[in-house]
Amino acid sequence: MQTKATRGSASRGALGALALANLRFWPTVAPRIGRELAHWEALAGEIQDIPLRAIALQKLTDERFNAEVAATLATAAPRQTRVAAVTAIVALEVLFDYLDGRTEQPAEDPLGEGLRQFAPFIDAVRPRVKGREVSESGAVQSARGPEEADARYTHTLADRAREHLLVLPAAEQIATVALAGAERCAQAQTRLHASATLGDGMLEAWAREQALGSGLQWREHLAGSAASVLALHALIALATEARVTRTDAERTDAAYLAIAGVITMLDSLVDDASDRAHGAPGLIRLFDSRQALADSLRELTREALARIGEAPRRAHHEMVLAGAVAYYTSHPAAREPHARAVVAIVRRELAPTIWPALGVMHVWRAMKALHARASLGGFL
């Protein structure tokens, strides 16, 4: 357990990482993000199937922030490999967001169809052997399934992510861990969406099996798995330095499995009212009570901090966790009665690191609201 002195030291390290991230983000990362997103928007506009084109374009508009935040992980990369990392991260995040929307659509076989649609996402981090792909078990597989109306879009995103990942110095060292993380993420996302049709029993059975030996309970493991694209981004950023080892990759993945779990649970918490209004309750429906959710988040936050302490670039990862928690706990819905107690518990676990991040997020949300009102005023 961390002492007050240890937490103070960690907080200073995270603040330093935040300052460095900002110094690097605006001149070297943000411009590349803008160019990449413009490129993908143009390609999405060429999808012939109208409903699929609408999903792709809406995701790029509504969830642009996802790619921007994901790419901040690359600010820890050396300058000479930073652009490649940003390019790979943005392509992978855009692909993930699109497939997330794609697999929410009704299907006769939601599990089989969802896993098939997520194949390009797994291909994006799959090591190649003479033009073919290798599974985690070592078996050579084909990366291409049947061509679809959006095949050019999804395959181009996957190819661009893989192309820029493979030029990174430690791509080989993170390969097996990244592939397992992509498969974990695809399974969790697909099963979460399929549970609306197939029920939660299938979801729980899979999550319980996957959680064995992970150090996490099944609900926490499921939450982390569903957002494991974040772990892939962290692994891509890690691969930018040649001295990285397989152990570094495993520890980074373990840390981000817990970090992603915290993020997913908080996201579900603040979206709960909206989800229920639309008849699609989120992941927190799997908890028996708000107290059970609060207890789980407390322990998972502590576990995330412990795992961060064992991973390389510790301060950078603590900054990511604090920033993500600040983002969700500064959401207007976080002030609602059902969420306040849970939010307070998570913030306490991250104090004092979270306080500056919360300040930044409150200012950002206020500026965003002012901008929205000003834009609305122009139409009145």
pTM score, whole prediction: 0.92
Per residue of the chain (380 residues), give pLDDT as tens.
555 545 555 567 887 888 888 899 999 999 999 999 999 999 999 999 999 999 999 999 999 999 999 999 999 999 999 999 999 999 999 999 999 999 999 999 999 999 999 999 999 999 864 444 544 433 334 444 446 789 999 999 999 999 999 999 999 999 999 999 999 999 999 999 999 999 999 999 999 999 999 999 999 999 999 999 999 999 999 999 999 999 999 999 999 999 999 999 999 999 998 888 877 778 999 999 999 999 999 999 999 999 999 999 999 999 999 999 999 999 999 999 989 999 999 999 999 999 999 998 999 999 888 877 776 665 44
- Cα 349 to Cα 30, 58, 136, 325: the distances in Å are 31, 36, 36, 11
Q: What is the pLDDT of residues 207-239, one digit of tens each?
A: 999 999 999 999 999 999 999 999 999 999 999
At the top level of CATH, the class of 9-373 is mainly alpha
Structure tokens at 31: 């411009």
Say how many Å lie between the first and final Cα of the chain, rounded: 56
* Residue 354 near residue 18, CB atoms below 8 Å: no
* Residues 90, 232: Cα–Cα separation, whole Å: 11
* Residue 120 near residue 158, CB atoms below 8 Å: yes
* Residues 304, 284: Cα–Cα separation, whole Å: 19
What is the phi/psi pair of residue 136, to 5°?
A: -60, -30
**By three-state DSSP, how is residue 134 classified?**
strand
* Residue 185 near residue 225, CB atoms below 8 Å: yes
Q: What is the pLDDT of residues 46-102, one digit of tens each?
A: 999 999 999 999 999 999 999 999 999 999 999 999 999 999 999 999 999 999 999
Q: What are the sequence ranges of the domains in the chain?
A: 9-373
Residue 3, CB half-sphere, CA atoms under 13 Å: how many? 2
